[in-house]
Amino acid sequence: MSRLPITKTPKVYVGGAFIRSESARTFPLQDAAGNFFANIPQCTRKDLRNAVEAAAKAGPGWAKRTPYNRGQIIYRLGEMLEARQADMADALTLGGATKAAARKEINATIDRLIYYAGWADKYGQLLGSVNPVAAPYFNFTVTEPMGIVGVIAPDEAPLLALISLVAPIITSGNTVVALASSAQPYPAIVLGEMLATSDLPGGVVNLLTGFRKEMVPTFATHTHLRALAGVAGAEDCKALELGAAESVKRVKLYRTEVPVDWYAEKAQSLYAIRDFVEFKTTWHPIGA
Amino acid sequence: MSAGFPNAFRRLCDEIGPVDAVGIEERVAKYATRSIKKASKITGLNLAVSMVDLTTLEGKDTPDKVASLCRKALHPHEGLNVPQVAAVCVYPSMVKHARRALGEDTAVRIASVATAFPSGQAPLRTRLAEVKSAVADGADEIDMVINRGAFLAGEYQRMQDEIVAVRDACGTATLKVILEVSELETYDNIRAASFLAMRVLRPGDFIKTSTGKTSLNATLGNNQVMLEAIRDFYLATGTPIAMKPAGGIRTAKQALHFLVAVKETLGDGWLNNTRYRFGASSLLNDLLRQLEKEKTGAYQAPYYFSEAAESY
């Protein structure tokens, strides 16, 4: 007996739940051969606003976790990806990647997660310091998370680049609202399903799909976003930087025109964590 | 008394008519679908600001906290051209501090909860003394709680007599009667209690949903039941009674939904702060936040509007 085909409705992962766009709009996604594959949520600035609210709710709890526990959870995300490699490989080959390339990207992504999981309880010692001062004070500098960070992921390496941007940000206790690649959003949809089973509290990572030109102005001007990371073309970079100046947020953008090798050793570093922490220096009197 | 309760309730229900609970839920679900944008949204948000009873009812209230609440009531935001709020709402012991902070010559009124708020479980003479002392300290409005025990036991006469006693103790102060809908259990009871209260109120007095101290507060559903009671009472007697939902209204979007309910049930006559109020503590912040968003076009962080200052 023939079965009815059961196709999946892709939904985005926001605030720990799988949602459609509040606008109810979708855009069709084709596979590499040009055949219709699925309708992807076309998120709007209001979805971005809602995701920021979700991130704000999750933030204080995530930042209060011990660094060790954050490391465990990011490691667990790596485990989830390892266990569901086949699903993710399908999502990547959908966009035209060969099986070998997909495998390579997934492996690099898992390794990147493990790399930052390891840093979670170590970056504080290296970025913080005890400072010599010419007075009877114990003077020390510690790091604190910034808050909610907006991420705009590129089209190339749709999984690896997204994780390479998100992982260092959440390692230090920030939360993320990320816009996945418009051309290849499906790996981010599958990633959402893995985040949901990874012990990562809902709202720490929020993944949106949709069109850049609709979302970039809101990423730029939303004052609750404390920083922006990602890859953008010259025009978007300008819009993001102008909006960021108005709302005083930190910007770390790669330019689309300058290709980034996400597989390279230097695509991961302690300094990627440092980019999204605030430093707090305390003067503590030590008596005569 | 309880033996007479079913009959008393049935007689009252026959007079005022029952509530179609499913119909109410269906009706209020539609209010959230109205599209209110741009100019009408700004008008609605400003109207909501002018209807706020800015409230602090906590054991940890201090004179200074009340004073800063009053400053906020007078000048909600420096960058926006917003109206003052309707009133501040405080405990009786804070009324004199609020009066000192607001001054005598102000449009912002002072509301005080009284009558052993929130339970109402104190002897009547104690409750009346509380009302009189709040009015003597300078309260313009008194928020009383009804005797839910008497209502649920079917002792309607006693419940009304107590409202009358408090009304008389108010003098010229406006009276707001809190039904505490979460303890009345059903929409029929809410409608019945609304009518019992309205029959002894003066024009311009309020009925109010909740104390804000229980798990269930103002909802569009119980707001709608009370608005329809006000409408039916007005059509039957010509006496306009005002309405105040309180508790649980935290966002500007919710406030607009409530205003839609007022507009579509009672009409423009109730769209002002002598006929409709919001009892809320954090709503004002979100209203200002959305007004600032409308002005600048940029979504605003809540910590720009005196929310509890967490790093997020």
Domain limits for position B203: 2-296
B155-189 per-position pLDDT tens digit: 999 999 999 999 999 999 999 999 999 999 999 99
Coil/strand/helix, residue B117: coil
φ, ψ of residue A178 in degrees (nearest 5): -115, 140
Average pLDDT over chain B reads 94
Whether residues A221 and B302 touch (CB distance < 8 A) is answered with no
B41, B72, B96, B143: the catalytic one is B143
Coil/strand/helix, residue B113: strand
φ, ψ of residue B226 in degrees (nearest 5): -75, -40
φ, ψ of residue A284 in degrees (nearest 5): -120, 120
Whether residues B312 and A56 touch (CB distance < 8 A) is answered with yes
* Contact (Cβ atoms closer than 8 angstroms) between residue A195 and residue A109: no
Residue of A nearest to B293 (CA): A222
φ, ψ of residue B145 in degrees (nearest 5): -100, 145
| pLDDT value of residue B62 | 95
φ, ψ of residue A141 in degrees (nearest 5): -120, 130
* Contact (Cβ atoms closer than 8 angstroms) between residue B254 and residue B65: no
First CA to last CA across chain B, in angstroms? 55
Q: Residues A10, A169, A147, A239: what is their CA dihedral angle, to the nearest 10 degrees?
A: -70
Question: Which residue of B37, B294, B299, B300 is the best one to mutate when testing the A interface, meaning the one whose CB has the most A CBs within 10 A?
Answer: B299
Residues of A in contact with B297 (CB under 8 A): 221
For residue A231, which amino acid is it? V
In a domain, B158, yes or no: yes
Whether residues B299 and A218 touch (CB distance < 8 A) is answered with yes
| Among A286, A288, A282, A273, residue whose Cα is nearest residue A131 | A282
In a domain, B310, yes or no: no
Specify which residues A131 forms β-bridges with. A139
CB pairs under 8 A between A and B: 38
Where are any strands of DSSP class E within chain A?
12-14, 17-19, 26-30, 36-41, 129-131, 137-145, 148-152, 175-179, 205-208, 225-232, 250-255, 277-285
| pLDDT value of residue B1 | 45
In what helix (H) or strand (E) does residue B53 lie, and over which residues does it extend? strand B52-55
| Of residues B298, B302, B310, nearest to A221 (C-beta) | B298
Which domains does chain A possess?
13-18+41-285 (3.40.605.10)
In a domain, B43, yes or no: yes
Whether residues B310 and A224 touch (CB distance < 8 A) is answered with no
Write down the residue that tokens 């040009």 correspond to: A34
| pLDDT band at residue B280 under the 50/70/90 scheme | very high
| Of residues B298, B300, B311, nearest to A144 (C-beta) | B311
In a domain, B243, yes or no: yes
In a domain, B308, yes or no: no
B41, B96, B176, B244: the catalytic one is B244
| pLDDT value of residue B310 | 52
In a domain, B214, yes or no: yes
| pLDDT value of residue A25 | 96
User: How many Å apart are CA A145 and CA A171, to the nearest integer?
Assistant: 9
Active site residue B143: yes
Residues of A in contact with B296 (CB under 8 A): 221
Whether residues B302 and A147 touch (CB distance < 8 A) is answered with no
Please indicate if any CB of chain B lies within 8 Å of the CB of A65: no
In a domain, B111, yes or no: yes
Domain count, chain B: 1
For residue B54, the domain's CATH number is 3.20.20.70
CA distances from B238 to A183, B173, B232, B241 (A): 64, 21, 10, 9
Please indicate if any CB of chain B lies within 8 Å of the CB of A249: no
| Among B153, B219, B147, residue whose Cα is nearest residue B178 | B147
d(CA A129, nearest CA chain B) in Å: 22
pLDDT for residue B201 is more than 50 = yes
pLDDT for residue B308 is more than 60 = no
B72-129 per-position pLDDT tens digit: 999 999 889 999 999 999 999 999 999 999 999 999 999 999 999 999 999 999 999 9
B253-266 per-position pLDDT tens digit: 999 999 999 999 99
| Among B281, B300, B291, B226, residue whose Cα is nearest residue B256 | B291
| Of residues B301, B310, B311, nearest to A223 (C-beta) | B301
Question: Which residue of A143, A148, A223 is the best one to mutate when testing the B interface, meaning the one whose CB has the most B CBs within 10 A?
Answer: A223
d(CA B260, nearest CA chain A) in Å: 21
User: How many Å apart are CA B1 and CA B8, to the nearest integer?
Assistant: 10
In a domain, B57, yes or no: yes
* Contact (Cβ atoms closer than 8 angstroms) between residue B141 and residue B166: no
| Of residues A63, A175, A247, nearest to B298 (C-beta) | A247
pLDDT for residue B23 is more than 80 = yes
Active site residue B244: yes
Residues in chain A where the model's pLDDT stays below 50:
none
Whether residues A223 and B300 touch (CB distance < 8 A) is answered with yes
Residue B222, Cβ neighbours under 10 Å: how many?
24
Active site residue B20: no
A224-237 per-position pLDDT tens digit: 999 999 999 999 99
| pLDDT value of residue B159 | 95
* Contact (Cβ atoms closer than 8 angstroms) between residue A41 and residue A26: yes
| pLDDT value of residue B307 | 65
Please indicate if any CB of chain B lies within 8 Å of the CB of A147: yes
pLDDT > 90 in chain B, percent: 90
| Among A218, A205, A183, A186, residue whose Cα is nearest residue A44 | A218
User: How many Å apart are CA B206 and CA B193, to the nearest integer?
Assistant: 13
